[in-house]
Amino acid sequence: MGRLELTVTGIHGEPQRLDRWCAGCELPFTRSAFKQLVTAVLVNGRPVKLSRLVQNGDTVVLDWKDPPAASVEPQNIPLSILYENELVTVINKRQGMVTHPGSGNHDGTAVNALLFHWGKTVQDETGFRAGIVHRLDKDTSGVMITARDYQSELWLQNEFKERRVGKYYIAILCGKLPGATGKITARIARDPGNRKRFKVTERTDIGKTAVTFWKVLSVRGPYSLVAFKLGTGRTHQLRVHSRYMGCPILGDPIYGKRDALFPDATLMLHARLLLVRLPGAKERSRFKAPVPGRFRRILQTLDRAYGKS
């Protein structure tokens, strides 16, 4: 089972049917499976049918059941494993790999690869959701922990929910931040002009508060190598906050623009370090992913062009 809360935006003119509006949103299942999987719908706190008309500002809550397990097939896809025991598998997710199957990505995901690696299917255990307790964007690489059984999954889900997990990233930004260290607290909501994007908003009736800590590691000309620590875990949080501070992440296809020096750069965002208590443990374990080659190549180019400060 799952639950998703959305704020209606992007409607121009007359109110729109809820199911049609939802079709344009990023959902954890395909559009064709929408009506079969959604079990309950609330609009502004009241149960409604999918034919209900909605308008900008309405709050929508969707409850859904998990898709049939047979829709997720094990696939022999190479994984970079940082750590593994009988309860968890920690991987260094490569850039370009989607975390779990969803709209437009039915296979080739980390879930497909993990199921093959474990030699199991989702049907092996009642309630097991293929071990995913957090996710990284498709274009973000780095540390991701997964659970190998249902009880471990519940443990890790609770650690993330209670914010007892330390999540640290590195990024190359286009621009210079105002100081060596800092903290940004800025509410994030869906962009009314593009439902696949998010933006900072001062409205308190939409979106969620997001907190990011940052530290400048080095500056090379008009570019900065920065370490981020997540205070919250909102979708696209680091990408949105970087853009809001006037320093979009290099290679960001959504929130940045094509860079003159690195026109072919991909998203320069990497989950570098994860601190998390493994199931049953009292202390947090530390998992670190190597700096990707794409970072090293760009930094070497910048060193030759600008030096390092």
Q: What is the pLDDT of residues 262-278, one digit of tens each?
A: 999 999 999 999 999 99
Do strands 188-191 and 269-277 pair parallel, antiparallel, or not at all (unpaired)? unpaired
Residues 12-61: tens digit of each pLDDT: 888 889 888 887 776 766 666 677 778 888 999 889 888 899 999 899 98
Whether residue 113 has pLDDT greater than 90: yes
CATH annotation of 2-64: 3.10.290.10
Residue spans of the domains in the chain: they are: 2-64, 69-161, 166-306
Q: Which is more confident, 234 or 102?
A: 234
Whether residue 69 has pLDDT greater than 50: no
Question: Does the fold of domain 166-306 match that of domain 69-161?
Answer: yes
Confidence of residue 208 (pLDDT cuts 50, 70, 90): confident
Phi-psi region of 104 (alpha: psi -120 to 50; beta: other; left: phi over 0): left
Query: What pLDDT is attached to residue 308?
Result: 76
Helix, strand, coil percent content, the chain, rounded in steps of 5: 20, 35, 45
Query: What pLDDT is attached to residue 296?
Result: 97
Residues 119-160: tens digit of each pLDDT: 877 655 555 667 889 989 999 999 999 999 889 998 999 999
Whether residue 1 has pLDDT greater than 80: no
Of 115, 119, 78, give the one whose Cα is nearest residue 100: 115
Instruction: Specify the fold of 69-161.
Output: Pseudouridine synthase (3.30.2350)
Dihedrals phi, psi of 108, to nearest 5 degrees: 75, 15
Query: What pLDDT is attached to residue 266?
Result: 97
Q: Could you tell me the CATH superfamily of domain 166-306?
A: Pseudouridine synthase (3.30.2350.10)
Global confidence as pTM? 0.78
Do strands 2-7 and 59-64 pair parallel, antiparallel, or not at all (unpaired)? antiparallel
Whether residue 280 has pLDDT greater than 80: yes
The pLDDT mean for the chain works out to 89
Active-site residue numbers? 137
Query: What pLDDT is attached to residue 70?
Result: 47
